[in-house]
Structure 1
Amino acid sequence: MNLNVVIMAAGKGTRMRSALPKVLHKLAGLPLLQHVLRSSAELQAQRTVLVTGHGAEAVEATVGADVRCVRQMPQLGTGHAVQQAVPALDDTAGTTLILNGDVPLIRPATARALAEACAETKLALLTVTLADATGYGRIVRSADGQQILAIVEHKDASDAQRQIREVYTGMMAAPTAALKRWVAALKNDNAQQEFYLTDIVAMAVSEGVPVVSAQPADETEVLGVNSPLQLAELERRLQRRHAEAQMEAGVRLADPARFDQRGLLSCGQDVEIDVNCIFEGSVTLGDGVQVGANCVIRNATIAAGAQIRPFTHIDGEADGVTVGEGSLIGPFARLRPGAVLGREVHIGNFVEVKNSTLADGAKANHLAYLGDATVGARVNYGAGSITANYDGANKHRTVIGDDVHVGSNCVLIAPITLGAGGTIGGGSTISKNTPENQLTVSRAKQLSLPNWTRPVKVKKP
C-alpha cells in the first residue's frame, strides 16, 4: 500500500490547564503522541508528517528523524493544518491517512483498515456510534442510510443533527491527489472562521467520489484527550485493557482495577500480582513469580519462582536489574541499575543494591547498602553494613569472596577484597584486604572511664 500518514498535533489543549503541549501529556507513562507514532509506524508509510503548532519545539524534539515536521502558525482549523502538510506529502503515495495526536489508542489494524477502505479512489471516514456524541462532528447520511453526505461540526449542527449518534472521529483516508485539490479549495465562512477538513466530504460528494466509512473495534480506540478528566478516564480504560490481556494469558491479578502497566510486561505461567503494582519500561516475570502489593518495577528480569514482597522498588533504568530463580526480595527493598542477583538470593527490608552482583544464596536481610560490589555465593551481609564505594571523586569496587560473613554495622572502604570464608567482626571499619578463612576485626579499644560525669546544662541567670 502506497501511503502517507499525517498526524495532527498543533492544538494548544486549553482545557488541560497546562503549559505542557497537550500531545506530550502522558498516558500509561508514554506521551499521547508517542502512542500514535507507534501505531502509525506499523503501517510502514512512505512518509509520516507531523503538524505542530503550540509548543512546536518541545513536540518536535520528541520525534525521530524519520518524521517530517511542519508547523501550523496560527492554528486556523483542521483543514488549515492539512494545508500545511500538503507540500511535505509524497506524491507517489496514492493514499493519505490522517490521524490525531491526541487520540492515542488507535490500533494499527484499525488505521490500516481505514487506509484500505480508501483504496486510493474513495474518501474513507473513521466513524463510531456513541451514547453521548457531544462535541463530535455528526455523520449525515442519505435517507436510506447508505450514502455519507456530509459531516456537520457540533457547534454548527441543528438540534435535529445533534440527535445523530454516529460521529466522525477526526481520522480519515483520502486519495492524495484529490486531498490536495480539496484542501486548497476550503473556505472559512463558518461560525469559527476556521478551515474545516470535514468540508471536503461535500466536495467529494459533488465530484461523485464515494464517501465510505470504517469502524474501530471499540470506542476506546477513538476517544480523544481534551482535559485532565478525559486523560484519567482513558488511562483507566487502557489499564483495564492491559489487565484483561494479562489475565487472559493466565496472570492472576488480585484486583484488575488496581494494576498499572506503563510499558511492556511479559509473564510466564502462574504469575501472581497483588494490588497497586506499577510496571514500567520492559519487565519480564518468570513462571511462578509472586509480586506483593505496592511494588514498582521498571526495566527488570525476574526469574522463575522469585518473590517480590510488598513495597519493593526495582528500577533498572538503562542498565536493567536481574533477579535469579527463587530469590526473595523485600519488603521495602530497593534494587537499582546494574543489580544482578543469582539463585535464591535474599534481599530484605531497607536494603539497597546498586551496580552489584550477588552469587547464588547470598543474603543481605536488613538495613544495608551494596554498591559497586561483587558478592560471592552464600555470603551473609549483616544489618547496618555498607560498601563505601565513593571517595568523593571516583567509584571503587568491593569484592567479597564465597562464604564470607560480614557482621553488623561494618564499613567496607573500597577498593577492597574480602577473602573467601572470612568473617568480619561486627562494627569493623575495613580498609585493607582480608585473608581467607580468618576473623578480621577493626575496632577502637573499649574503655570505661571511672569518675566521669555527664555535662549538665548551665542555667542562665
Structure 2
Amino acid sequence: MASTINLVVMAAGKGTRMKSATPKVLHPIAGKPLVQHVLDTMALLPAAARIVITGHGAEAVEARTRGEALRFVRQMPQLGTGHAVQQALPALDDSAPITLILNGDTPLVQEATARALAEACGGTKLALLTVVLDDPTGYGRILREGQRPDGAVLGIKEHKDASEAERQIREGYTGMMAAPTAALRRWLAALKNDNAQGEYYLTDIVAMAVAEGVPVVATQAANETEVLGVNDPVQLADLERRFQRCEAEALMRAGVRLLDPARFDLRGTLTHGSDVEIDVGCVFEGHVHLADGVKVGAHCVIKNARLDAGAVIHPFTHIDGESQPVQVGAGALIGPFARLRPGATLGREVHIGNFVEVKNSSLADGAKANHLAYLGDATVGERVNYGAGAITANYDGANKHRTVIGADVHVGSNCVLVAPLTIGAGATIGGGSTVTKEVPAGGLTVARARQATLPGWQRPVKAKK
C-alpha cells in the first residue's frame, strides 16, 4: 500500500453539544486531543498526502495538532461533511488512487481497520466503514438491496432525514470511507444541498456511485468502541472509560496486578517488569517504567518517571517529571503524601516520607528525609538523615543555588540551609540552625540564638473598649 493513499481527517466541527469554548476535537481522551489519537494511529499508514480539515477554532486545532508533513485546509463556513471534503480537493495527490476519509472526533479507530477499509476500496470501489448497533441514533443508516444484511449497498440515509422505517435499521455509517480519488473529485463537484439541513452531505456520493455502476462495499469495524464518536461530555466520559478498560486489561494480561481496573488511568505509556502491583485511583502520565516488584499505593499520580526494582510508592504520592524525568532507586520507600518534582534522582533504599518535597536534587543510597522537609537544588550523600522541618533555601530572589551535603551528615529538625552551601561528610547540624557558611566535616555546627528567659514577663492583653 506504499503511498497509495490520500489521508483526510475531518476536524472542522464546532461540537455545540459539548457546551465548551474548546473545539470538540481538542477535548482529551487519556490526556491527548481526540484528533491527535487519530493522527498518531494513521501515522502508521504510508500516505502520499496527510490533510486535516479545520474550521471552528482552526487556529487552536492547527496549533495543537502534530504530525509529519500535515497540511491544513479550512472549511469556512461549515456547510456539511461533503463541503468539508471539497476543501481538501486541491491538496489531494492524484497519483494516490485511494482517498481515505476519517473523523477527527472518533479517536479509537485502529490502524488495521483503516488499512482494511483502504484495501476494500482498492482504487476501484467506494468502501464504507459501518457498525451494527443496538441503538444507532444519530448515525446515517445503510440502505441495502431488499434490506437484507448481505444485500448490495444502495445508499446512506442521514438520521435527520430518515423515515421511521429507515430508523429501525441497525447498521450505521461511521462517517469513515475510502473512495477512488478521481471519482471522488467528480462526485464532490456534483453534490447538492437539497435536504432538511441545507448541507452538502458526503453520504450522497454513495447514490452517485451506485448510479455510475461503481461497486459500493461495506466493511464492519472490529468492535463498537473503535468507531464511537464524541458529541457531548457524556460520550467523552464513556469513551475515556472504554479506553482505560482496554489499557487496564492489556496490562493485566501482561502480568500487572491492578486492584480495580475500573479505577485506573493511563495518559501516556506504561512499561513494566514482573510482579508489579497498582492500587486504586492511580494516574500515569507521559512515560513511566515500573521495574520488577514495584508497588504503587492508592491515589498516586506518576508522570515521566522510572521506578527501579522493589520501590514502594505509598498512597497519595505525586511524582512529576514533566520537564526532567524522575528516577527512584531500587528498594526506595516514597510517601505517603510525598512530592517528587522534575530532576529528583533517588538512589537505592532512599526514604522520602510524608509531606517531603524533592526538586532537582539527588539523594545517594540510603539517604532519608522522613517527614515535613524540602530539598531543592541539592546533592545529598549516602546515609544522610535529613530532619523534620529542614529546608534548603535555594533561591535568593533572582538565582537558584546548590546545597551539597556530604555522606553520613545528620541535619537536625527545623534547620534552614542557605545556599550556596557545602556541608562536609559526617557533620551534624543542630536542630533549629540557620546555616549560611561552609560546614567542615565531622563536627557539630549550631547556628541559632542563645536561649533566654525573662522571669515574670506578661503577655500583652487587648485594650478594653
Contact 2:35–2:65 (CA under 8 A) maintained in structure 1: no
**Alpha-carbon deviation of 1:214?**
1.6
Q: How many residues align?
A: 460
**Alpha-carbon deviation of 1:166?**
0.7
Contact 2:244–2:264 (CA under 8 A) maintained in structure 1: yes
Match of residue 71 from structure 1: 74
Which SS does the other structure have where 1:352 is aligned?
A: strand
1:131 paired residue among 107, 131, 134: 134
Q: Which amino acid aligns with 2:453?
A: S
Match of residue 82 from structure 1: 85
Match of residue 10 from structure 2: 8
Instruction: Provide the rounded CA distance (Å) in 2 between the counterparts of 1:251 and 1:44.
Output: 34
**Alpha-carbon deviation of 1:209?**
1.1
1:238 paired residue among 220, 240, 243: 243
Deviations 1:164-210 (A, max 9, x none): 11111000001111111111111111111111100111111111111
Contact 2:289–2:306 (CA under 8 A) maintained in structure 1: yes
Structure 1 residue runs without a partner (length 5+): none
**Alpha-carbon deviation of 1:238?**
0.6
2:422 paired residue among 406, 417, 422: 417
Match of residue 42 from structure 2: 40
Q: Which amino acid aligns with 2:23?
A: P
Which aligned runs of 4 or more in structure 1 are off by greater than 3 angstroms? none
Which SS does the other structure have where 1:160 is aligned?
A: helix
Which SS does the other structure have where 1:384 is aligned?
A: coil
Is 2:370 the partner of 1:368? no
Q: Could you state the TM-score of these two structures normalised by the residue count of structure 1? A: 0.98
Counterparts of 1:254-269 in structure 2, within 5 Å, are 254-269=259-274
Q: Which amino acid aligns with 2:5?
A: L
2:107 paired residue among 98, 104, 107: 104
2:195 paired residue among 190, 196, 199: 190
Deviations 1:369-414 (A, max 9, x none): 0000000111110000000000000000000011111110010000
Deviations 1:117-137 (A, max 9, x none): 111111111011000011100
Q: Could you state the TM-score of these two structures normalised by the residue count of structure 2? A: 0.98
After TM superposition, the structure 1 stretch with the greater mean CA deviation from structure 2, 158-167 or 79-88, is 158-167
Which SS does the other structure have where 1:231 is aligned?
A: helix
1:395 paired residue among 387, 396, 400: 400
Counterparts of 1:127-206 in structure 2, within 5 Å, are 127-143=130-146, 145-206=150-211
**Alpha-carbon deviation of 1:44?**
2.5
Counterparts of 1:270-419 in structure 2, within 5 Å, are 270-419=275-424
Match of residue 31 from structure 2: 29
After TM superposition, the structure 1 stretch with the greater mean CA deviation from structure 2, 221-230 or 139-148, is 139-148
Instruction: Provide the rounded CA distance (Å) in 1 between the counterparts of 2:324 and 2:227.
Output: 36
Which SS does the other structure have where 2:270 is aligned?
A: strand
Match of residue 119 from structure 1: 122
**Alpha-carbon deviation of 1:298?**
0.7
Q: Which amino acid aligns with 1:57?
A: E
After TM superposition, the structure 1 stretch with the greater mean CA deviation from structure 2, 61-70 or 10-19, is 61-70
Q: Which amino acid aligns with 1:40?
A: M
Structure 2 residue runs without a partner (length 5+): none
